[in-house]
Amino acid sequence: MTHINGSRTKGHTTRPTTATSRRNTGGGTFSRETINVRQNRPSGAGLGLSRQERLRRQNLASASERGRTAGSPLSTRLFRTGRGTLSSIENAVDTGPTAQEIADAFFGGGGGGGGRSQADEIALIREQARLGSEESARDRATAIQQAELNRAFEIDQDRKQQEEERRQQAASIQSERQRVYTDLLGRDPVRAILFAMGIGPEADIFSTQLKSLGSTQTPLAGAGQGRLQTETALSGLLGRSVQLGTGGVTGLGSAEQAAQPFQSGGADIQKLLTSAFGVGGTKGAGISAEELIQRISAVTPTGTLQQ
């Protein structure tokens, strides 16, 4: 025969027990008072719950159910022990999910891409890849364009440098031409005028040098006026039209015909005629000064030729 002794107090409960003594693990026995005292434990580990506690746990279970329905990791954690003892549920809550995990369960967070589907994620990745590819293509195009601009600039700088070098060389050639002209003018005036005009073998040397620089030979300063003066002087001495040009000196006539102005003129006249006959004309090469004097001497009475 057993005696049931059970009562409920606020925050505590007394489980129904028998009057029969129990043995402890050490082989002793417990009195009824000892059993009743040990059964009066806090309600957190028993089945008697206050109304406020029951409501709290019901709300927690409802939230957990909603999380489980959405496929949240939180629902799995809570409901694995959902059919266990109440203390195990309470322990799960005490060491359970954080606020962020609960928010993720309700709002689709926790690495779910803000609620985006897998197709949306793939589309986003492809769009990002496309934008990255376009940006890379623009960068390559910009780099190529910049390289072309740099190359064009370098080519232009090289061209300008080469032009400057050619200009300096051409200026040096022109200076040398002027020096040669001045030297010729003192001893061979007709040849000097033709040289200044760019005519004659001496001028051809400079013409070749200028062509190698991409330039052309132009008449020296004063060449035109010097030509006119020389033609006028020779025409007056020989009594015929004398011209200077690419064919040399035309209209001179024979050396014998120049004997009278040659022997009657001074040193400058003789130098001018000697230079003109030295160049010669289109009908033949010029003659040397010695040959000119011999031919003039042959037609001049003895004692009248002045040298």
| Position with higher pLDDT, 27 vs 197 | 197
Q: Model confidence over 133-176: pLDDT tens digits?
A: 999 999 999 999 999 999 999 999 999 999 999 999 999 999 99
pLDDT at 30 over 60: no
SS3 23: strand
| Position with higher pLDDT, 53 vs 280 | 280
| Position with higher pLDDT, 241 vs 286 | 241
CA distance 6 to 147: 96
pLDDT confidence of residue 62: 64
The rounded percent of the chain whose pLDDT value lies above 90 is: 45
pLDDT at 260 over 70: yes
| Position with higher pLDDT, 28 vs 157 | 157
Residues 6 or more apart from 256 whose CB is under 8 A from it?
Answer: 295, 296, 298, 299
Sorted by where each begins, the domain ranges of the chain are 7-45, 51-107, 162-298
Q: Model confidence over 7-22: pLDDT tens digits?
A: 444 444 444 444 443 4
CA distance 219 to 211: 15
Place of tokens 């001893």: 187
pLDDT at 233 over 70: yes
Q: Model confidence over 208-229: pLDDT tens digits?
A: 999 998 888 899 998 999 999 9
Mean pLDDT over all residues of the chain?
74
pLDDT at 192 over 50: yes
Label residue 265 by pLDDT band (50, 70, 90): confident
pLDDT confidence of residue 129: 92
Measured in degrees and rounded to the nearest 5, phi and psi for residue 42 equal: -60, 150
Q: Model confidence over 89-105: pLDDT tens digits?
A: 444 444 455 555 554 54
Mean pLDDT of 243-262: 91
CA distance 242 to 276: 10
| Crossing angle between the packed helical segments 223-238 and 189-196, to the nearest 10 degrees | 140
pLDDT confidence of residue 285: 74
SS3 249: strand
